[in-house]
Amino acid sequence: MIAARPDVALMDGYHSPQLDVRVRLNTNESPETPPAGWTDALAEAMRSIDWNRYPDREALKLRTAIGGLHGVGPEQIFVANGSNEVLQTVMLTFGGPGRTAAVWEPTYALHSHIARITGTGVIEGERADDFSTDLGEVARVIAAARPEVSFLCSPNNPTGVVDDESVVRETLSMVEGVDGLLVVDEAYGQFAPWSATGLIADDVPIVVTRTFSKTWSMAAARLGYLIGPSWLVAELDKVVLPYHLDAFKQLAGTLALDHVEAMNERVQRLVAERSRLVGRLEELDLEVWPSGANFVLFRPRSKPGAEVWQQLVDRSVLVRNCSSWPRLEGCLRVTIGTTDEDDTFLAALEEVIA
């Protein structure tokens, strides 16, 4: 019987528990559904799909609509099945055997996981004590490894830290110095005070990835995209499988962009709810980190995090146990939910750690 590649056989997969609970706050989904106008328009527009024909391989209408949102043309937009497939395509194109990707831990686990799946070597640096990006450590890693691809995640998952523009610019300068590519993962970018999309130009080696899963309330659709130089997008188009983005998904994403105002209003509500939740958490016996995303990282002081996690599950509340992340022993991450969901979580947490 054939065996998997030795390096793949030794890997752990990336999984989030999917449990049957009353309150699920572990995967950073939007607590609100998309607007009814989008659902109705999508249902009606489905009648126009030629189901017996392949979809538009270029996804031109969707790419044009996304480009309009960011003030660029469709040639600077790459779309795929969730931002994870975007990242995978980047690594298939610019990574591979004999090449290296750099990450600074703790950060989004799929950056290093996807890199390794594509046969790319991974070098890991560390973030500062407050989990901000340490430019000295960035310089050390880039000078030592000269990575082809460097990842920044802002807001960072699972810590919620937002990198200042000056940090991203300095990191980009170091990456340019080794002829590398800087990937800025902005899956939670709409929650942050600024975006690295303003740094994108055809002669600058930086891309920004986004997703429809969070702020667009479309996690079920699995749709993500990248904004970058046109020459780089052309290279990604060579690597991705033909017709990889189905007609329904292209339609769903295009119609969603007719509801930008509703998306922005959702973001504002979640940011306000995040502030309320953080205020309540800071009153408890917890270490709480500031967040620029739709989640909050915290560590119970009086009990082990894994024990708190299980006792929350016993009360039908599911959060993310982040203890397996580097330097996050005992940490838990809670997604911002509705007011009722968050109050249920807080009541359960107070009972558990009392």
Domains within the chain, CATH numbers bracketed: 6-34+261-353 (3.90.1150.10), 49-259 (3.40.640.10)
pLDDT band at 196, cuts 50/70/90? very high
Dist CA 247 CA 53 (whole Å): 9
Q: What is the pLDDT of residue 14?
A: 57
Number of H helices, E strands in the chain: 12, 13
Dist CA 29 CA 266 (whole Å): 12
Dist CA 288 CA 310 (whole Å): 19
Q: What is the pLDDT of residue 301?
A: 96
Q: Where are the alpha helices (DSSP H) in the chain?
A: 6-9, 36-45, 60-70, 82-94, 109-117, 135-145, 165-177, 230-239, 247-256, 260-281, 305-314, 339-353
Cα four-point dihedral sign 277, 278, 280, 286: positive
pLDDT band at 3, cuts 50/70/90? confident
Per residue in 263-315, pLDDT (tens digit) is: 999 999 999 999 999 999 999 999 999 999 999 999 999 999 999 999 999 99
Question: SS3 of 352, please?
Answer: helix
Mean pLDDT of 8-22: 68
Rounded to an integer, what is the distance from CA 191 to the centroid of its chain?
12
Contact by Cβ (8 Å): 285, 353: yes
Per residue in 214-258, pLDDT (tens digit) is: 999 999 999 999 999 999 999 999 999 999 999 999 999 999 999
Instruction: Centre a 10 Å sphere on the Cβ of residue 43 and count the other Cβ atoms it contains.
Output: 9
What is the rounded average pLDDT for all residues in the chain? Answer: 95
Is the pLDDT at 173 greater than 90, yes or no? yes
Q: What is the pLDDT of residue 16?
A: 65
Which tokens go with 297?
A: 């990282």
Least confident of 19-23, 95-99, 178-182, 296-300: 19-23
Q: What is the pLDDT of residue 12?
A: 63
Is the pLDDT at 336 greater than 80, yes or no? yes
pLDDT band at 6, cuts 50/70/90? confident
Q: What is the pLDDT of residue 2?
A: 75
Give me the half-sphere count of Cα atoms (radius 13 Å) on the Cβ side of residue 41.
Answer: 14
Is the pLDDT at 9 greater than 60, yes or no? no
Q: How far is CA 163 from CA 35, 107, 169, 189, in A?
A: 31, 13, 10, 11
Name residue 94's beta-bridge partners: none
Contact by Cβ (8 Å): 102, 111: no
Which tokens go with 114?
A: 């996807």
Q: What is the pLDDT of residue 15?
A: 59
Q: What is the pLDDT of residue 13?
A: 58
Contact by Cβ (8 Å): 231, 202: yes
Dist CA 153 CA 163 (whole Å): 8
Mean pLDDT of 68-74: 98
